[in-house]
Amino acid sequence: MQLGRIVGTVVATRRDPATHAWSLRMVETLNVYNQPDGSYVVAVDVVGAGVGEVVMITRGSAARQTDLTASRPCDAVIMGIVDTWEVDDQTQYVK
Amino acid sequence: MQLGRIVGTVVATRRDPATHAWSLRMVETLNVYNQPDGSYVVAVDVVGAGVGEVVMITRGSAARQTDLTASRPCDAVIMGIVDTWEVDDQTQYVK
Amino acid sequence: MQLGRIVGTVVATRRDPATHAWSLRMVETLNVYNQPDGSYVVAVDVVGAGVGEVVMITRGSAARQTDLTASRPCDAVIMGIVDTWEVDDQTQYVK
Amino acid sequence: MQLGRIVGTVVATRRDPATHAWSLRMVETLNVYNQPDGSYVVAVDVVGAGVGEVVMITRGSAARQTDLTASRPCDAVIMGIVDTWEVDDQTQYVK
Amino acid sequence: MQLGRIVGTVVATRRDPATHAWSLRMVETLNVYNQPDGSYVVAVDVVGAGVGEVVMITRGSAARQTDLTASRPCDAVIMGIVDTWEVDDQTQYVK
């Protein structure tokens, strides 16, 4: 999994009908020190996360292992909202 | 998922017979600020998108989760046409 | 899918028996302007392409969606021979 | 598989219910000479590894081939604790 | 598939029990000109290759399409020993 921050939303009304229930979030991925790493992913939110929150992202076929995404063309989900993480005994982020 | 702009088409008459119904689009991938990121993908269009449109791409096994691509050698589909997206309350793109 | 040019062949007589029917091609991947991008992949040819031809490559689990590669340890196939492609109304390649 | 060092933990109380039994580890990936390569992954621990240990990571759909991760949105697992490895007859790491 | 040279072995006695029959090889990946590309992968040997040999690697879900790796957390296998390859009519490697 990767860490990321939700920085916005994506609107795409004309899309595969099987995906109409999805909330699409723009997620900027983060390095271990809570800094943007210059990349992003558009992910389906399955936990009710909002803009600004730090989240955990799962990619690939694993992104279809949720009720909302099963058997649908999804390659990235937000599957957790991060409370905190630490690296070498230093807290890098607290919600 | 990733964002991209359709910049052209690919013609390949001699190809795996199971793929003959596909429209192949050349898609330049975009960063969150709507700039090309220097990469591309040839994707199957399942939503009727045209050259110049900004679209959403799904990759990997998820790309086979549509009627047109199921059980076929497809690793990228255009599964939505983007209307707009925003980053940090700034609109980055409007159709 | 990605574009590439077949630049050579790979011989590996001692390999997984399930793969003995494969023709292994060395494929240099191309950018949208028909220039090598510095990367390559060894791919299984399922369309009868020859050295020098520009082809379309499928990767990942999608590479096993052909008769020759199903249920075998294959992560890349040549699934089409490219006739032409264009970017922004400019032809980048013609066979 | 890749080598990595567990540098910390991630806490995310609000997450996909199917994942509540997981221990989430922050793993810094290593090059062959036992140096951090600048990347990381959040992985599920299935072998009882602790912070500071050098481990082996499996990614992608393979990460769901354990009891703890099967049919769950997991794209990375810690599936082994490394004792030692060598490169060109030089030991690079000993536990 | 990718080309690589086996440069060493990895020992990890405490690991997922389903993987105990595996021989774990450290493989340095090669570019088309038989030079190390700066990356590596720990792969399961299914063909009996030794240190120093040049091999072919399959990654992703395809790495589970062998008897030794099926339904196990494996994302890379050595599935062939390379005899020779050529690029633009120049032999790059001979065993």
Q: Where are the alpha helices (DSSP H) in A1-95?
A: none
On whether any CB of chain B is under 8 Å from the CB of C86, the answer is yes
Hey, where are the domains in chain A? 2-94
- By percentage, how much of chain D surpasses pLDDT 90? 100
Check: CB of residue D64 under 8 Å from CB of residue D74: yes
Segment C21-35, tens digit of pLDDT = 999 999 999 999 999
Cβ separation of C1 and B43 shorter than 8 Å? yes
Residue E62: the pLDDT is 98
Nearest to E86 by CA among D29, C7, C44, D79: C7
Segment C53-85, tens digit of pLDDT = 999 999 999 999 999 999 999 999 999 999 999
Task: Give residue D52's pLDDT band: very low, low, confident or very high (50, 70, 90).
Answer: very high
Task: Give residue A63's pLDDT band: very low, low, confident or very high (50, 70, 90).
Answer: very high
Residue B15: the pLDDT is 95
CA C73/CA C61 separation, integer angstroms: 10
Check: CB of residue E81 under 8 Å from CB of residue E46: no
Residue E58: the pLDDT is 98
- Please give the interface size between D and E, counted as residue pairs whose CB atoms are below 8 Å apart: 93
B7, B26, B63 ranked by CB distance to C62: nearest: B63
Q: Which CATH number fits domain D2-11+22-94: 2.60.40.1580, 2.30.30.40, 2.40.50.220, 1.10.10.60?
A: 2.40.50.220
Q: Which CATH number fits domain C2-94: 3.30.450.90, 2.40.50.220, 3.40.50.300, 3.30.830.10?
A: 2.40.50.220
Is ipTM beyond 0.85?
yes
Q: Which residues of E touch D82 (CB under 8 A)?
A: 10-12
On whether any CB of chain A is under 8 Å from the CB of B63, the answer is yes
On whether any CB of chain A is under 8 Å from the CB of D27, the answer is no
Task: Give residue B87's pLDDT band: very low, low, confident or very high (50, 70, 90).
Answer: very high
On whether any CB of chain E is under 8 Å from the CB of D60, the answer is yes
Q: Count the helix, strand and coil residues of chain E and give each as a percent rounded to the nearest 5.
A: 10, 55, 40
Neighbors of chain C by Cβ distance (3+ pairs < 8 Å): B, E
Task: Give residue E94's pLDDT band: very low, low, confident or very high (50, 70, 90).
Answer: very high
| DSSP reduced 3-state for A90 | strand
Question: What is the second-level CATH architecture of the domain E2-13+20-94?
Answer: Beta Barrel (2.40)
On whether any CB of chain B is under 8 Å from the CB of C63, the answer is yes
Residue B6: the pLDDT is 98
